[in-house]
Amino acid sequence: MTAKPPLFHFDNSYARELEGFYVAWKGAQVPSPKLVLFNDRLATELGLSPNELKGPTGAAIFAGADSPEGASPLAQVYAGHQFGGFSPQLGDGRALLLGELVDREGIRRDMQLKGSGPTPFSRGGDGKAVIGPVLREYIMGEAMHALAIPTTRALAAVTTGETIFRDGPKPGAVLTRVAASHLRVGTFQYFAARGETEKVRQLADYAISRHDPDLRGAEDKYLKLFRRVVERQASLIAHWVLVGFVHGVMNTDNTTISGETIDYGPCAFIDAYDPAAVFSSIDHGGRYAFGRQPVIAQWNLARLAEAILALIEPDDLDKAVTLAADELARFPDIYGKLWLSGMRSKLGLVKDAEDDQDLIEELLSLMKDQSVDYTVFFRRLAETAEGKADPAAALFENTGAFVTWHNRWLRRLQLEDAQTAGLKDRMNAVNPIYIARNHMVEAALSAAEGGNYDQVEQLLDLLSRPFEERPGFEANALPAPEDFGPYQTFCGT
């Protein structure tokens, strides 16, 4: 009789190569695991069979109650700066890395459970999650993916049959998260803080093999690794800012080596343009405000540089500091160029012109002063290319100031070779009409807490094609009603 092939073809390099960087562990048993969402498209990318995983067997695996064949469940250890204060040991307090899959494109991906129960790193917590935060991460990750922003993604969401207390009784749940890896700045910080330079080296070599294999033979491979991480983070933050995304908890343990967005807790998309926008309930000082994200990213990268200095120039620390500082100093320029290029695209501009930065800053100043919705504005602006400012001007109380800017923009467009007829399509291809609006997400999560997942599924479908206008969904393209807010999100998983 032919043996049935395994559900997952794991190849667990982290468990195999990095002993001492984790604790082998198992998920908690749960009374009644039930699959409520499954990402068929992602499963297919990973070479999995959706049909085989949608039944009770898959539900038990995704709840953490059963370990599939070939899995090596483990809790990773890391440290981190949280709101500027260093915690020397954090680690996966409510997560387990089940293992790694090599997808159909040959890319290695982690499969991790979030909310699967306590681990040695839980620090007194129960290690569990509830349905709202699990679905928030599912929704936000898929929304970001559809916007072509590097991100972790959700493969599945299950309820566990438990009641978990988070500001009252809530349905227990577990998320299955897929990532390029779960290597963080904080992973390097953990071993550097303990003076374990050889483990820092081992981790860096692993990161290079996994994310930058072309650097393996380079003499200055550790400096070049740092350069790559700087570039990836600069690109990621530029992507965030261009679509109005606020992460909310940019701690070093949430800063990935891969350049993916990770951990969608207190996160949100802005409505009205505001660099000071904060949505995290615990960010009282605005450390991680929308407009501060590039500064914080560079600060986090400085912490990575400190952790690997001994690898860059083992015999000359001063030289290592200089080399790392030079790479770090490139961040603002890399970010600035990517952001400026992205803003030009949002305005329908193809060529570079000397005054573009000033044109953009004047616009953003007007939007901030008059609380103009960031996402709606750019879609409305695309309708005004023929010279009529009315669709976008209606968003401004002081229409005169906007009309003056609009005329300046029209003059700038005359420098372009592209025909005005194609301008609207060009702009709409980069400016989403649908984002994960905070009020829509909250409405969907509230319904899901009562057992109705229809709104979540509808929202996921809408966000899967964020640039495509759909009849009947006009309300989904509008800001929150005036009686919604002030909006706060919480670390709930």
CA distances from 292 to 256, 295, 299, 461 (A): 18, 5, 11, 31
Q: In angstroms, rounded to a whole number, what is the distance separating the alpha carbons of residues 186 and 255?
A: 8
Q: Hey, what are 71's tokens?
A: 């899995």
The C-alpha angle 19, 20, 24, rounded to 5 degrees, equals: 75
Give the whole-angstrom CA distance, residue 335 versus residue 324: 17
- The alpha carbon dihedral of 78, 82, 85, 90 has a sign of negative
Instruction: Look at residues 367, 176, 150 and name the one whose alpha carbon lies nearest to residue 245.
Output: 150
**Total residues belonging to the chain:** 493
In this structure, what token pair is assigned to residue 65?
């109650």
**Annotation says 253 is catalytic:** yes
266 contacts 279 by C-beta, under 8 angstroms: yes
Q: Measured between alpha carbons, how far is 351 from 413 in angstroms, rounded to an integer? A: 9
Segment (H or E) for 237: helix 221-243
CA–CA distance from 335 to each of 151, 222, 298, 329 (Å)? Answer: 18, 22, 10, 11
Q: Which entry of 110, 253, 283, 356 is annotated as an active-site residue?
A: 253
CA distances from 462 to 145, 148, 158, 262 (A): 13, 15, 22, 22
Closest CA to 188 of 324, 19, 21: 21
C-alpha pair distances (Å), 285 with each of 204, 238, 276, 278, 424: 34, 23, 10, 9, 40
Please list the active-site residues.
253
